[in-house]
Structure 1
Amino acid sequence: MSDEEFDLMDELYFVQSFKGLKETLCWEEAKVLSTLQLLFEKKYIKCLAGPDEDLTGSPDIPKNGKQYYFLATKKGLMAHNTL
């Protein structure tokens, strides 16, 4: 897990919006989206349509990530906590 992935995972113990992540991390939009995509591909996070609403289908994070919410998965939390 890269430093960026680790830092982003720190923020995903609870549901977070893209906007909230961007503001908290003070990263450029593209960096947040690309790091979210990497974490999603590793199954470390899941995407939500809303704070309490599962997303149907496969998310297109680079294209639509700004409208999603994100949360760490059990696998992601385990990986984050073992470093």
Structure 2
Amino acid sequence: MTDNEFDVLDELYFVQPFNAILEETQLAESELKEVLSGLLNKGWVKCFGDRQAEMPIALSELGNDLTSYFYLATKEGLLVHNGR
């Protein structure tokens, strides 16, 4: 796990919009998009269309605009984060 992955997961114990993660991590937007893509592919993060959504968006349905979604760490992601 990279330092940036750790920092992003640290913000995702609760559902967070992209802009809140961007502000808290102080990463560049392009860096955050890259980190979130990696975390999504590893299964460490889930993506939602809005804060109240109960079903995550499938990776195959995600567009390139990661800025319009909400994110939450998965159980696996939290275990990896806490085990570091």
Normalised to the residue count of structure 2, the TM-score between the two structures is 0.90
Aligned mates of 1:66, 1:43 — CA distance in 2: 19
Count of aligned pairs between the two proteins: 81
CA-atom RMSD in angstroms: 1.1
SS at match of 1:50: coil
Name the amino acid aligned to 2:44.
Y
Aligned mates of 2:3, 2:57 — CA distance in 1: 30
Counterpart in the other structure of 2:83: 82
Unpaired runs of 5+ in structure 1? Answer: none
Aligned mates of 1:55, 1:32 — CA distance in 2: 19
Normalised to the residue count of structure 1, the TM-score between the two structures is 0.91
In terms of fraction of residues, the more strand-rich structure is 1
Aligned mates of 2:78, 2:42 — CA distance in 1: 12
Residues 1:45 and 2:42 aligned together:
no
1:56 deviation in Å? Answer: 4.1
Unpaired runs of 5+ in structure 2? Answer: none
SS at match of 2:79: helix
Mapping of residues 60-75 of structure 1, within 5 Å: 60=63, 63-75=64-76
1:57 deviation in Å? Answer: 3.7
Mapping of residues 1-83 of structure 1, within 5 Å: 1-53=1-53, 54-58=55-59, 59-60=62-63, 63-83=64-84
1:24 deviation in Å? Answer: 1.0
Q: Percent identity?
A: 36
Residues 38-62 of structure 1 show CA distances to partners (whole Å, capped at 9, x for unaligned) of 00110000000000113444323xx
